[in-house]
Amino acid sequence: MMDFSEIVTLIVRSVETGSIYALVGLAMGIIYKASEVPNFAQGEMATFSTFIAFMVLTVHGAPFYVAFVVSLLFAYILGIAFEFLCVRRAKNPTILSMIILTIGLQMVLYGLSGWVFGTEQRAFRLPFSQFETVEIGGVVISHLGLATIIASFVLMCLIYWFLEHTKTGLAMRASQQNSMAARINGISSNRVVNLSFGISSIVGAIAAMLFAPIITLSPDLMWDPLLKGFAAAVLGGFASLPGIVFGGYILALIENLFGLWFSLEYKSVVAMGIIVLVLYIKPSGLFSKHYQRKV
Amino acid sequence: MSNNPFFTVDKISKSFGGLQALKELSFHVNKGEIYSVIGPNGAGKSTLFNCINGIYKPDTGSVKIQGQEITGLRPDQVAAHKISRTFQNIELFSNMTTMDNILLGRHMHMKTGVFSASAMLWKNSFSAKDETEHRRKVDEIIDFLDLQASRNKLVSQLPYGIQKIAELGRALATEPELLLLDEPAAGLTNEEREDLIFWIRDIRDELGITIILIEHNIQMVSEISDRIIAINFGKKLVEGTVQEVTNNPDVVRAYLGAD
Ligand SMILES: Nc1ncnc2c1ncn2[C@@H]1O[C@H](COP(=O)(O)OP(=O)(O)OP(=O)(O)O)[C@@H](O)[C@H]1O
Ligand SMILES: [Mg+2]
């Protein structure tokens, strides 16, 4: 069996990868809560934003924080533009037609990033090294890993603070709970949905920028994390943001245990297995928040 | 007065597929009136409210408040014109407390800006002046409507009648000049209904809010209305004082007779 320090190491590693899953899941959850649409373009939106950071870094030789800010700005604009130009235009949309719309954007962005930035693997570096490590309380962790954990945690706190303690966050939560009641209180649901797409896109872009250094940057960067983030959201419950974060960490832990006890090679089937299992055991936890109302 | 009425509905029509729910319906309401809308089930009363407050867009016709055209605006835009409402089937934030529901009615009056921290719902975590002011206003409404016992309870846990009153409180918190009440007394006990009648009068007398009331209970309507409109199949049957409307043979046949 594992000794104590091995267990702690396992948990820290799981928090490290789980942070990425949690952020991707959160990005999807934020849009889902506002519009009941799982956004399958989330990964490509994030990848495209990361390519923007990459261009600013390499072509323009700008410092990292500039690239970071430019990329997030781009991500925000991409998010609100997609909502404003495509999602909002849909006439009498059904959930299925909205999903198809997001898949359409996914394909467009995937093709576009390959065309504009090339399909080769690029090295995307953050100021935090993946190979230099620190030891905290007997656990060895890379600078990048530590930065990932801290950045995700800070971002989650920010999202929490925003939703709980600002007027706009309050409007978003109200709109999610009962959009009819929110609207007659003067809250514009258009604005809430639009903002949700923008914020979600930023969260996704941060996840992608934290993830890109671990592998390499290419148009399919976020395929795997998107599946994992989706699984995390399914596991924790799409309707609950804290649930999604929890789902992200748990998924990473299960994956690591699976890798330890069974097979490293097939670690990825865990996410799929979890999606299927949750759908089988508790499908109501999934896209269940559909109310029919007569006004 | 009739030259420039407070609120006018001019020939609005609305159909759903083949079904015409409203047919060129026109009326006006004077400032400070309690104006009641009666009619049998399916007459188009709720559809009228939905067309006024922007949940539905009327096919044709116009709605004006204080001379300003509000036809076809979205519900949040109509709310900004100081029109608030309650629903036949209560619309509240069921996972929030009565306090927070009514506080959300203050949303339009809260300072704007994405990072304005003035709107925090979490008790004591921040004591911005603005927020204290809104909480004070909400507590006034809670006292006015006798909701003290339900103040910190989730609305989903409240009895139906109390939820209806809480929704009225939410509507009042927006500080409307025109209040649309869709069957506020339905499902209330007799005692609750008596309270409601008292409050509706007070809302008009003390707060100066004009009220349009949809109500099936003809006794209650007779008791508090200044004028009444009876509609059937989306059309005006008759409009006038309580006497005129309740004695009208068409009304008696189409509506009162059916009870
Ligand atoms: N969204 C909708 N889609 C289709 N038909 C509708 C819709 N809303 C209302 N209707 C129809 O319009 C007609 C008028 O409905 P409305 O709800 O306005 O009646 P009402 O006078 O409020 O009746 P009640 O006293 O039962 O509340 C009804 O035939 C109803 O079925
Ligand atoms: Mg009705």
Predicted local confidence at residue B128, as pLDDT: 59
Query: Atom 3 of ligand 1 has which residue's CA nearest to it?
Result: B16
Query: Model confidence over B7-51: pLDDT tens digits?
Result: 999 999 999 988 999 999 999 999 999 999 999 899 999 999 999
User: And the tokens for B40?
Assistant: 């049998």
End-to-end CA distance of chain B: 36
Predicted local confidence at residue A263, as pLDDT: 74
Has residue A38 got a pLDDT over 60? yes
Has residue B84 got a pLDDT over 90? yes
Facing residue for B87 by CB, picked from A174, A186, A295: A295
Q: For residues A190 and A187, what is the distance between their CA atoms, to the nearest angstrom?
A: 9
Note whether B91 contacts A190, CB cutoff 8 Å.
no
The residue with tokens 């896209």 is A287
User: Is the model more confident about A153 or about A291?
Assistant: A153
Query: Model confidence over A235-286: pLDDT tens digits?
Result: 888 878 888 999 999 999 999 888 888 877 777 788 888 888 887 877 544 4
Sign of CA dihedral A89, A32, A109, A149: positive
Strand partners, A79: none
Predicted local confidence at residue B51, as pLDDT: 96
Predicted local confidence at residue B118, as pLDDT: 43
CA of B70 to the centre of ligand 1 (A): 22
Q: For residues B256 and B245, what is the distance between their CA atoms, to the nearest angstrom?
A: 11
Average of per-residue pLDDT values in chain A: 88
Has residue A42 got a pLDDT over 90? yes
The percent of residues above 90 in pLDDT, for chain A, comes to 52
Do B115 and B63 form a contact (C-beta atoms < 8 A)? no
Predicted local confidence at residue A288, as pLDDT: 41
What distance in Å separates residue B84's CA from the closest CA in chain A? 7
What distance in Å separates residue A290's CA from the closest CA in chain B? 15
Q: Is B139 helix (H, G, I), strand (E, B) or coil?
A: helix
> Cα angle at A79 between A152 and A228, to 5 degrees?
45
The percent of residues above 70 in pLDDT, for chain A, comes to 95
Predicted local confidence at residue B117, as pLDDT: 46
Find which of B93, B97, B111, B181 to mutate to test the A interface (most A CBs within 10 Å of its CB): B93
Do B210 and B66 form a contact (C-beta atoms < 8 A)? no
Ligand 1 pocket, mutate which of B46, B216, B255 (most atoms under 8 A from CB): B46
Please state the domain extents for chain B. 1-82+176-259, 94-173
A252 CB within 8 Å of a chain B CB: no
A-B CB pairs within 8 A amount to: 96
The pLDDT-based confidence of B3 (bands split at 50, 70, 90) is low
Q: For residues B81 and B75, what is the distance between their CA atoms, to the nearest angstrom?
A: 10
CATH 1.10.20.10 fits B1-82+176-259, yes or no: no
Contacts 24+ apart (CB under 8 A), A290-294: A290/A36, A293/A180, A293/B89, A294/B89
Do A141 and A129 form a contact (C-beta atoms < 8 A)? no
The pLDDT-based confidence of A88 (bands split at 50, 70, 90) is confident
Predicted local confidence at residue B44, as pLDDT: 94
Query: Atom 18 of ligand 1 has which residue's CA nearest to it?
Result: B44
Q: For residues B46 and B184, what is the distance between their CA atoms, to the nearest angstrom?
A: 12
User: And the tokens for A25?
Assistant: 């899941």
Strand partners, A284: none
- Averaged over A101-120, what is the pLDDT? 92
Query: Model confidence over B170-222: pLDDT tens digits?
Result: 999 999 999 999 999 998 999 999 999 999 999 999 999 999 999 988 889 99
Note whether B46 contacts A170, CB cutoff 8 Å.
no
Predicted local confidence at residue A135, as pLDDT: 87
Query: Model confidence over A175-208: pLDDT tens digits?
Result: 988 989 999 999 998 999 999 999 999 999 999 9
Predicted local confidence at residue B116, as pLDDT: 43
Burial (CB count within 10 angstroms: exposed 0-12, middle 13-18, buried 19+), residue B226:
middle
Q: For residues A97 and A103, what is the distance between their CA atoms, to the nearest angstrom?
A: 10
Give the count of beta carbons closer than 10 Å to the beta carbon of residue B60.
Answer: 12
Query: Model confidence over A238-247: pLDDT tens digits?
Result: 878 888 999 9
Do B90 and B187 form a contact (C-beta atoms < 8 A)? no
Facing residue for B75 by CB, picked from A168, A170, A183: A183
Query: Model confidence over B128-168: pLDDT tens digits?
Result: 567 778 888 999 999 999 999 999 999 999 999 999 999 99
The pLDDT-based confidence of B101 (bands split at 50, 70, 90) is very high
Q: For residues B253 and A188, what is the distance between their CA atoms, to the nearest angstrom?
A: 43
The 8-class DSSP code of residue B186 comes to T
Predicted local confidence at residue A137, as pLDDT: 79
- Averaged over A28-47, what is the pLDDT? 92
Please state the domain extents for chain A. 22-221
